[in-house]
Amino acid sequence: MEQPIRLKPSLRERVWGRTRLAPWYPDSETPIGEAWFLSERDLPLLVKLIFTSERLSVQVHPDDGEAGPRGKTEMWHILEAAPGAVIAMGFREPITRQRLWEATRTGEVEHLLHWAPVKAGETYLIPAHTVHAIGAGIVLCEIQQNSDVTYRLWDYGRPREIHVEKAVPICDLGVHPGASRAVSVAEGREEIARSRHFVTELVRLRAGERFRPAAAQCQLWICLEGRGKIGAEAFQAGEVWLLPDEGEQVPIVADGASRFLRTWAPA
């Protein structure tokens, strides 16, 4: 039986990151904004933990075939949110493309966005073409297509490249529907996001509970809370495990109450 693989986190310094990373990682001397969980093989999905102390740029991602074979649809599951923390998704009201062009020149685009307060446990699906930004004081788990193509429309005066000519033509100019609604699929399991690129469930296991998942392409288990074993290997919070695409899967056994995001690429 093929065994699951623990993916190694790669910590990435970002100007908007933070030095306090507890309880996920030891604190850092430099501002860490992202932890990427990487595999030796090319996976269709990529998992990140994102830590923010400032607002991220206003940005948009292309869809499949627009800047390479993979676009970038993503989802955010909020792990921590300071009082007043917000994210932006789409616009407060539909706008014209000409208005968007003008707003990117002045910075008004920041104020046209729909900034919404967030709290831990919420999930947001961000399809390609959605204009978006993450605010300060947030820790979230991002599950995305494995692509790093990002077009910035506004960056609050930071000295980084802006990609207005590529970004504006692909932006969805409408209103985002907001937080996803969880749908129960079994006891202890809720589907919290679905797109043509990934399906994600929130899985809760009680102390001593044993669960053997079905096989799926690029099945990733992201431990948010708890300890236990995946097969013969110990797991703990902050880890991401890649299960085999085929065959019988090893059982996941929780020592104490545990919580996971389980995501995979639908066939």
pLDDT digits (tens, 9 = 90+) for 168-179: 999 999 999 999
- Same domain for 25 and 151, yes or no, is yes
pLDDT band at 58 (very low <50, low <70, confident <90, very high): very high
CATH label of the domain that carries residue 223: 2.60.120.10
133 assigned to some structural domain = yes
Q: Kind of pairing, strands 189-194 and 199-205?
A: antiparallel
Half-sphere exposure (Cβ direction) of 18: Cα atoms closer than 13 Å: 19
62-93 residue pLDDT tens: 999 999 999 999 999 999 999 999 999 999 99
Same domain, 151 and 45: yes
In a shared domain, residues 246 and 191? yes
Determine the pLDDT at residue 25: 95
> How far apart, in whole angstroms, are the C-alpha atoms of residue 66 and residue 258?
40
Tell me: do 155 and 32 sit in the same domain. Answer: yes
Indicate whether 56 and 80 sit together in one domain.
yes
Whether residue 135 is found in the same domain as residue 26: yes
Q: What is the pLDDT of residue 131?
A: 98
The verdict on residue 178 lying in a domain is no
- Which pLDDT value is given to residue 1? 72
Whether residue 198 is contained in a domain is answered as yes
All residues at 6 or more sequence positions from 59 whose CB lies less than 8 Å from its CB, including other chains: 131, 132, 133, 150, 151, 152, 153, 167
Q: What is the pLDDT of residue 136?
A: 98
Q: Count of domains in the chain?
A: 2
Name residue, tokens 């389980």. Answer: 262
In a shared domain, residues 235 and 208? yes
Distance CA 50, CA 149 (A): 17
Write the pLDDT tens digit of every residue in 95-136.
Answer: 999 999 999 999 999 999 999 999 999 999 999 999 999 999
Distance (Å, rounded) from C-alpha 189 to C-alpha 183?
A: 9
Rg (CA), the chain: 19
Q: For residue 4, what are its two tokens?
A: 């699951």
Distance CA 253, CA 29 (A): 36
Q: How many other C-beta atoms can be found within 10 angstroms of the C-beta atom of residue 215?
A: 14
> What Cα–Cα distance (Å) separates residue 104 from each residue in 3, 98, 170?
49, 10, 14
Q: Provide the residue range defining the domain that includes 258.
A: 183-265
* Residues 96 and 215 occupy one common structural domain: no
Burial class (CB within 10 angstroms; exposed 0-12, middle 13-18, buried 19+) of 246: exposed
230 token code pair: 């995946």
Residue type, 40: E
In terms of domains, do 42 and 80 share one? Answer: yes
User: Could you tell me which residues come within 8 angstroms of residue 127 by beta carbon, excluding any fewer than 6 positions away?
Assistant: 73, 172, 195
Beta strands in 109-225 (DSSP E): 113-117, 123-126, 132-134, 138-145, 151-154, 183-186, 189-194, 199-205, 210-211, 217-225
Q: Phi first, then psi: give them for residue 122, nearest 5 degrees.
A: -85, 155
pLDDT for 267 beyond 90: no
pLDDT in tens, 5-40: 999 999 999 999 999 999 999 999 999 999 999 999
170, 202, 225 — which closes off a domain?
Answer: 170
Position 176 in a domain: no
Q: What are the tens digits of pLDDT across the range 195-249?
A: 999 999 999 999 999 999 999 999 999 999 999 999 999 999 999 999 999 999 9
Write out the two tokens for 64: 């499949």
Please report which confidence band the pLDDT of residue 165 belongs to, taking 50, 70 and 90 as the band edges.
very high
In this structure, are 59 and 91 located in the same domain?
yes
The strand pair at 227-230 and 233-236 is best described as: antiparallel
Q: What value does the mean pLDDT of the chain take?
A: 97
Beta bridge mates, 59? 132, 152
213 and 144 belong to one structural domain: no
Residues 193 and 154 in one domain: no
Structure tokens at 73: 């649809």
2 has pLDDT over 80:
yes
